[in-house]
Amino acid sequence: MGRRNGATYLTEWNVALKARPRFLLINQWNEFAGQKDGQGYGPKHDGYGDTYSIELSDDIEPTKLHGCGYRGCGGWGYYYMNLTRALMALYRGETPDATLVALSAPLEGATIPSGPVHLGWTLAGAPAKSFTLRMDGRVMVQDYHGEDYRMAAGPGSHTVTLTANGTRSYFDLPYDKLAVRRSKALDATSTIHFSVRPHLNPEKR
């Protein structure tokens, strides 16, 4: 699996939060480019010795949000650095009641086919009482129990925000700057932006 908007990272951290090792090593690689499509290693030129894509990379240090490489444009900015900062505070007991949540799908900035949108999410830290989902500022479902939800979304750009009700979050998780600890804890949230392609009429293709 890939990054999934930080959900994979939270899943890995949940192991550490449960096992509580004395030492915790956070490993990442500086993999920013990789070979162009069709120029990889092997007889089929499909062996890639570096980053295959942004989603399948394993860096956490800040990158430009709009920087371009061989495999497309866009980066994760400070998001994973901020996730790490919040998770370390939880792990060290500085914020023992904290919760972090990440919407795992759709991917941030993705353009998806028309049809039902399948939202998924992952939690780390204290459990939530329930969840509230908003799309474009409108409540789609509240007091929801579960870790995925399907909903309709028309063509165009959308913003979805998941709120973990009854939780405490001490850090905002912006993409464009380093997080600062809040003076007052708020419910943990995760927000993604995505677009839905217009439905194609087969007769007009």
Domain ranges of the chain: 4-30+78-204
Q: What is the mean pLDDT of residues 85-106?
A: 96
Q: Which residue has the higher pLDDT, 34 or 84?
A: 84
Mean pLDDT across the chain: 88
4-30+78-204 is classed CATH 2.60.40.10: yes
Q: Which residue has the higher pLDDT, 71 or 6?
A: 6
Tell me what pLDDT residue 50 has: 63
- N-to-C CA span, the chain: 34
**CA-closest candidate to residue 123, choices 160, 78, 166:** 166
Enumerate helices (H) and strands (E) in the chain, giving the number of each: 2, 10
Question: What's the DSSP call for residue 197?
Answer: P
Tell me what pLDDT residue 11 has: 96
Tell me what pLDDT residue 201 has: 62
> Is the confidence at residue 33, as pLDDT, over 60?
no
Tell me what pLDDT residue 59 has: 81
Tell me what pLDDT residue 203 has: 55
pTM: 0.85
Q: What is the mean pLDDT of residues 124-150?
A: 96
Residue type, 4: R
Q: What is the mean pLDDT of residues 123-134?
A: 98
Percent of all residues in the chain with a pLDDT value above 90, rounded to a whole number? 64
pLDDT per residue over 146-183, tens digit each? 999 999 999 999 999 999 999 999 999 999 999 999 98
Strand 72-73 to 68-69 pairing: antiparallel
**CA-closest candidate to residue 62, choices 161, 153, 177:** 177
Tell me what pLDDT residue 70 has: 61
Q: Are 28 and 81 in contact (CB under 8 A)?
A: no
Q: Are 16 and 91 in contact (CB under 8 A)?
A: yes
DSSP string covering 40-104, please? Answer: SBTTTT-B-SS---STT----S---TT-EETTEE---TTHHHHHHHHHHHHHTTSSTT-EEEEEE
Tell me what pLDDT residue 45 has: 78
Q: What is the mean pLDDT of residues 72-88?
A: 89
Strand 72-73 to 117-125 pairing: unpaired
